[in-house]
Amino acid sequence: MDINLKDKIIAFIPARGGSEGCKDKNIKLFNGKPLIYYSIEFARKCGLGDSTYVSTDDLKIEEIASGYGVKVIKRPDELATAKSTVSEAALHFLENIGDTATDAEYLLVLQPTNPLRTLAHFEDALRLIIERDADCVFTVTPLKVKLGELVNGFFKPTFFEFHQQRQDLNNYLSMNGLIFLSKISSLLKYRSIFGEKSVPIIVGEMYTLADIDTPLDFEVTEFLYKKFNS
């Protein structure tokens, strides 16, 4: 990556302490290291080690992140609930780092819950946000699924018909949390990491399987990590 461009990017790792689906998942040992380590290390591989921040309300996460040499922004409790959004955490972060973000143009959001991202994902995101003049670029996975809903106790298909073959289903895109790269000016303007012009990067199905929210997700993701990093 161009060294001048590196100075225009801040890596932001949102990691609240509470987790209803998988207790302490952000610091649970994953292949021998706390899960959050993999996002911190990824930021370093991107050349952003000196501009990497963790946003958290949790003392244990703060201590572990500080131990890995990154800066920590303490997040207030009201922005660390199960209903709190990444956009809210990102806005709080930008409003509390003083002059650090003065020259920065982009915010690279790295959620600890998907540690399988690669440098190619980051490079693609950076290329696209510049080429498309996008507010945000993020990764998605194409899914062909037969979704439905309960109507008066009966199953009703949504976006498909009974007996329709899987290969004939429409491709829908599922956000998988690998990478979000947002233009800071747009984030501040629209109060959202997505802005108005969001461009997807389509990646493989395994990245949706590796979005950790439950103990089973954790085990599956650890298995995939070991498989592709052995």
Q: Where are the domains of the chain?
A: 3-140+175-228
Q: What angle do CA 25, 48, 210 make, to 5 degrees?
A: 30
CA distance 148 to 107: 36
Q: Which residues pair with 79 in a beta bridge?
A: none
Backbone angles phi, psi at 158, to 5 degrees: -120, 120
Q: What tokens does 12 get?
A: 């932001």
Long-range contacts of 48-53 (CB under 8 A, 24+ apart): 48/6, 48/9, 48/10, 48/11, 48/108, 51/7, 51/9, 51/10, 51/11, 51/100, 51/104, 52/10, 52/11, 52/13, 53/10, 53/11, 53/12, 53/13, 53/93, 53/97
CA distance 38 to 29: 11
Query: To 10 degrees, the CA torsion angle through 95, 100, 101, 105?
Result: -160
Neighbour tally for 217: CB within 10 Å: 18
Could you list the pLDDT tens digit for every one of the 230 residues in the chain? 554 677 899 999 999 987 776 778 999 999 999 999 999 999 999 999 999 999 999 999 999 999 999 999 999 989 888 888 999 999 999 998 877 666 899 999 999 999 999 999 999 999 999 999 999 999 999 887 888 999 999 999 888 888 888 777 777 888 999 999 999 999 999 999 999 999 999 998 878 777 888 889 999 999 999 988 86
CA distance 93 to 55: 7
Q: Return the pLDDT at 3.
A: 47
Backbone angles phi, psi at 208, to 5 degrees: -75, -35
CA distance 16 to 58: 6
Q: What tokens does 6 get?
A: 């590196």
Q: Return the pLDDT at 100.
A: 64
Q: Return the pLDDT at 1.
A: 52
DSSP designation for 171? P
CATH number of 3-140+175-228: 3.90.550.10
CA distance 227 to 218: 14
Q: What tokens does 67 get?
A: 């131990």
